[in-house]
Amino acid sequence: MRTPQERAARLLRWYPKAWRNRYGEEFAEFLIADIEERPQSAERALDVARAGLLARLAVAGLAGQHVAWQPDPGRRVQVSLGTLCGALTACLALAAALWSQLAIAWEWTLPTTATPPVMRATLVMSAAVLAFLVLIGLAIVPAGYAIARNCNVRMLGPLLVLAAAVSLLAFGGHHFLYQWPGSGGHSEGGTLFPVIPAGIQAFAWSLTYWFSVHWFWLTTGLGGWEVAWIVASPLALAAAVAAAATLVRRADLSPRLLAYETRLAAAACAVMGVFLGGCGYWVYVGRPPGLAHAGQLDIAAAILLALVLAAAYQAQRTALRGLQLVRG
C-alpha cells in the first residue's frame, strides 16, 4: 500500500514541469491532506488527470492564456505559434501525401475513364496546396529575416536539424524521382491532369513514398536504398516539423511579426480546411475501380489530417487570444 506522499507524488506527474515548479509543493500538501481524509476517490484521480492534461496542453500552446505559471503573454503567443508551425507543417506533409497519389493516378488514368467529380476534387485540392505554399512563402520570408538577424546559440541546434532534414528530403526526393513505376508523370496515354507539371507530381510522390509504398510495391521487393529512403524520409519530415516548431518558439519575434504570422496561420488553417473538404469529397466520390479511388490508408490519413488541423486551429485561437493580452 502506497503512502499518501507517494500517491500525491504520482498524481503530481500528470502536470508539466513548469506547473509543478510553481504549484508543486503546495499542491502535493493539499493532495496529501485530501488523500488522508478520503483514501479512495476516483473523482479526485480523474479531476487531477484532466487538469494535468489541460496544463500540458497549455504548455504546448494549445490552451489557457490565463495562467499565472506562464506569466509572459508574448512568450505564450510564441509557444502557440511554434505549435501552430509544427502542426501546419505536418498538415502539409499529409496533404502532399494524399495529393501526390491522386495527381499521379490522374497521370495514369485514361481520358475515357475520367470521372469529373474526382477531377473537381483534385483541382480543389491542388489549388489549396498551391495557396498553402504561397502562404508558407509569405510567412517564411519575414520570420527567416528576423531569425537571421537575432540568431543565438539556442537556435543553432534546431537550425542545423532543419537544414539537415530539408537537405535530405530535397536530395532524396530528387534522387528517387523517377526510380519507381508510377512516378514520373508519363503522359503518353493522354494525361487528364496537365495543370501540374509532371516533375512536381513525381517529386511530391517521391517525398511521400513512405505513405503510398504499401499499395503494391512493398511485396514486390525493394532495394536497400529504397527501403532506407522509405524509413529515412518520414523521420526527416518529423525532424523538420519538430525543428521548425522549436525554432519559432526560440526566435525573438516582435509583437507585430507575431500578429502577422498568426493572421497568416489563420489563412493557412482555412486553406487546409478547403483541402480537407476536397479530400472528403474525393473519398466520397472516388470509388473503385480505377486508380483515383480513395483507399483505407487515404481515409485514415484524411482523418489524421483533420485531427492535426484541429490542433493547428486550436493553437491559432490560443495565439490570437494571447495577442489580445499582449496588446493590453
Q: What is the DSSP letter of 164?
A: H
Between CA 209 and CA 229 the distance in angstroms is 9
CB of 71 to other proteins, least distance (A): 8
Total interface residues for other proteins by CB under 8 A: 25
CB of 11 to other proteins, least distance (A): 8
Residue in 3, 6, 49, 134 binding other proteins, rule: CB under 8 A: 49
| 23-31, 105-113, 226-234, 284-292 -> range binding other proteins (CB under 8 A) | 23-31
Residue in 2, 30, 181, 214 binding other proteins, rule: CB under 8 A: 30
Q: Does 140 bind other proteins (CB under 8 A)?
A: no
Q: Could you say which residues in the range 54-113 bind other proteins, by CB under 8 A?
A: 54, 66-69, 71
Q: Does 34 bind other proteins (CB under 8 A)?
A: yes
CA 245 to chain centre: 10
Q: Does 44 bind other proteins (CB under 8 A)?
A: yes
AA letter at 278: G
Q: Does 23 bind other proteins (CB under 8 A)?
A: yes
Q: Does 2 bind other proteins (CB under 8 A)?
A: no
Complex with other proteins: residue 259 or 325, whichever CB lies closer: 325
Q: Does 133 bind other proteins (CB under 8 A)?
A: no
CB of 22 to other proteins, least distance (A): 8
Complex with other proteins: residue 68 or 153, whichever CB lies closer: 68
Coil, helix or strand at residue 122? helix
Q: What is the DSSP letter of 32?
A: H
In angstroms and rounded to an integer, the radius of gyration of the C-alpha atoms of the chain is 23
Q: Exposure pattern of 97-131 as b/e (b: 16+ CB <10 Å)?
A: bbbbbbbbbbbbbeeeeebeebbebbebbbebbeb
Q: Does 10 bind other proteins (CB under 8 A)?
A: no
Residue 140: burial class (beta carbons within 10 Å; 0-12, 13-18, 19+): middle
Q: Which residue has the cell 495527381?
A: 103
Q: Does 188 bind other proteins (CB under 8 A)?
A: no
Between CA 44 and CA 29 the distance in angstroms is 15
| 21-29, 134-142, 192-200, 268-276 -> range binding other proteins (CB under 8 A) | 21-29
Q: Does 50 bind other proteins (CB under 8 A)?
A: yes
- The CA distances from residue 315 to 12, 59, 75, 239, 323, in Å, are 25, 11, 14, 20, 12
CB of 56 to other proteins, least distance (A): 12
Complex with other proteins: residue 42 or 153, whichever CB lies closer: 42
Please enumerate in sequence order all residues whose Cβ is within 8 A of that of 28, keeping only pairs 6 or more positions apart, or say none: 5, 8, 9, 12
Residue in 5, 10, 21, 33 binding other proteins, rule: CB under 8 A: 33
Nearest to 161 by CA among 230, 86, 73, 225: 86
Where along the sequence are the contacts to other proteins (CB under 8 A)? 11, 23, 25-31, 33-34, 43-44, 47-52, 54, 66-69, 71
